[in-house]
Amino acid sequence: MSSVTIRHVHKRYEDFHAVKGVSLEIKDKEFVVLVGPSGCGKTTTLRMVAGLETISEGDIMIGNKIVNQLPPMDRDIAMVFQNYALYPHMTVYDNMAFGLKMRKFDKAEIAKRVNNAADILDIKDHLGRKPRMLSGGQRQRVALGRAIVRNPQVFLFDEPLSNLDAKLRVQMRVEIKKLHQRLATTSIYVTHDQVEAMTLGDRVVVMKDGLIQQVGEPLELYNRPANKYVAGFIGSPAMNFADTMIEEAGGAVYATNPTMKIRVPEQIAARMGPHKGKPATLGIRPEDLRMANGTDPEDLSFEAVVEVAEQLGSEIILDLKAGGSAMVASVEPTVRVKPQQKIRLAINPAGLRFFDATTEAAI
């Protein structure tokens, strides 16, 4: 096991700059998730760590060794693919033993390791079968087993759960988490699903357009997004945004637009100096909105029209229109509203975020 260091790495294709200077340090035993929309460079970055893509510029180190020039076979890593990539002509046992055979382990050692991994993953009964006879979840376990028998320095995961149905995905997510707790192998996990990223990662790396947007622990990303993109990407339903102007009135700072006039909390207002008189984007998460009860101050609430109410049992998701912008609020399940009803929503001031209108960086 060892650390992985990615330093100023670029990937250029003939007509496309896929990764534009990514730097990231992954500590030994850490589970790091790369998350972002498709085309953001996360998979390319992972494949460069694996050695499946050449590095156009920069260094990748595994431990204290620069591996840029090493073919995948010499990097001592294991990778789990989205489509499992199980060898269809081999039994489950042979699939798991292949990497060990290639590295010339003796038969007894191979048997010991494969059986051990099969035990951990509960696929002992299927060792003699061919992959096509297995269900999706079982295939995923075999793919995991194939990775763990080798006891590599680093595990790489390339969207391993996206071919599974929703229920299995949750189950396998827990399984991967458990496996990491047990084996503590340094892991890099690529996904486009922010829920997977939040639940699995010790740290999460949000990427977009070949650049890292923010690196941090899951709660850090949720609570202190570095920019509007991260704020919108992390959390479900996504954060609401409204275009506002920052104005000072009577010693307080307000974010205003035709339908709302929201007072900016003190500690943020202190940083608002250079933004006064300029546009800024206000952000508020659906869970930081609730139905106003009459005692809420004017400047921490706003009016909105209900468009759709989705009853989820534990909460109600309201799709709203507030002036020009669409808003989503998550309210208590006891609330009763009708479509087109005009309601007033109160804001939890601790949940207010502001972003520069041009750079989109958090204020």
Partner 1 sequence: MIEGSAWRRWVFFRLPMGIFLIFLLFPFYWMIITTFRPDGELYIPWYRATYKPFWTWNPTTAHLKYLFGETTFAIWMWNTTFIAVVSTAISLFCGVLAGYALSRLNFKGAALLGTTIFVTYLVPQTLLFIPLSEIIRTYSLGDTPWSLILSYPTFLIPFCTWLMMGYFKSVPKELEECARIDGAARWQAMLYIVIPVAVPGILSAMIFAFTLSWNEFIYALVFLSSPEQKTVPVGVISELVRGDVFFWGPLMAGALFGSIPVAIAYSFFVEHYVSGVTGSVKG
Partner 2 sequence: MATAAIPVPEGTIIVGKPKWRPLEGEGNLAMLLLLPTVALLMMFIAYPFVRGILLAVTNSKVGQMGEFVGFENFARLLKDPIFHAVVYNTFLYTFVTTIFKLILGLWLALLLNRDFKFKAFTRAFILLPFIVPTVLACFAWKWMFDPTFSVLNWMLFKLGIVAAGAGVNWLGDGDMAMLSIMIVNIWRGVPFFAISLMAGLQTISPDLGEAAAIDGAKPWQRFWYITWPLLMPVTMVVMLFSVIQTFSDFQIVYVMTGGGPANATHLFATYAYQLGVGTGLLSQGAAVSLAMFPLLFGIVIFQLMYIRRVETR
Residues that bind partner 2 (CB under 8 A): 3, 5-8, 21-25, 61, 63-71, 73-74, 211-214, 226
139 φ, ψ to 5°? -60, -40
Could you say which of partner 1, partner 2, none residue 174 binds, taking C-beta under 5 to 8 angstroms by partner kind?
none
Does residue 106 bind partner 1 (CB under 8 A)?
no
Could you say which of partner 1, partner 2, none residue 65 binds, taking C-beta under 5 to 8 angstroms by partner kind?
partner 2
Cβ pair 9, 49 in contact under 8 A: no
Does residue 87 bind partner 1 (CB under 8 A)?
yes
DSSP 32: E
Binding flags for partner 1, 152-171, as an x/- string (CB under 8 A): ----x---------------
Amino acid at 334: T
58 φ, ψ to 5°? 100, 180
Could you say which of partner 1, partner 2, none residue 289 binds, taking C-beta under 5 to 8 angstroms by partner kind?
none
Looking only at residues 33 through 52 of this chain, which bind partner 1 when binding is defined by CB under 8 A? 50-52
Does residue 120 bind partner 1 (CB under 8 A)?
no
Q: Which two tokens stand for residue 99?
A: 């990497």
Nearest to 34 by CA among 221, 182, 281, 258: 221
Residue from 72, 136, 137, 279 binding partner 1 (CB under 8 A)? 72
Minimum distance, C-beta of residue 220 to partner 2, in the bound complex (Å) = 13
Minimum distance, C-beta of residue 114 to partner 2, in the bound complex (Å) = 27
Cβ pair 355, 284 in contact under 8 A: no
Cβ pair 175, 183 in contact under 8 A: no
Distance CA 205, CA 65 (A): 23
181 φ, ψ to 5°? -65, -35
Does residue 71 bind partner 1 (CB under 8 A)?
yes
Site residues, partner 1 (CB under 8 A) = 50-52, 71-73, 75, 77-79, 81-83, 85, 87-89, 98-99, 102-103, 146, 150, 156
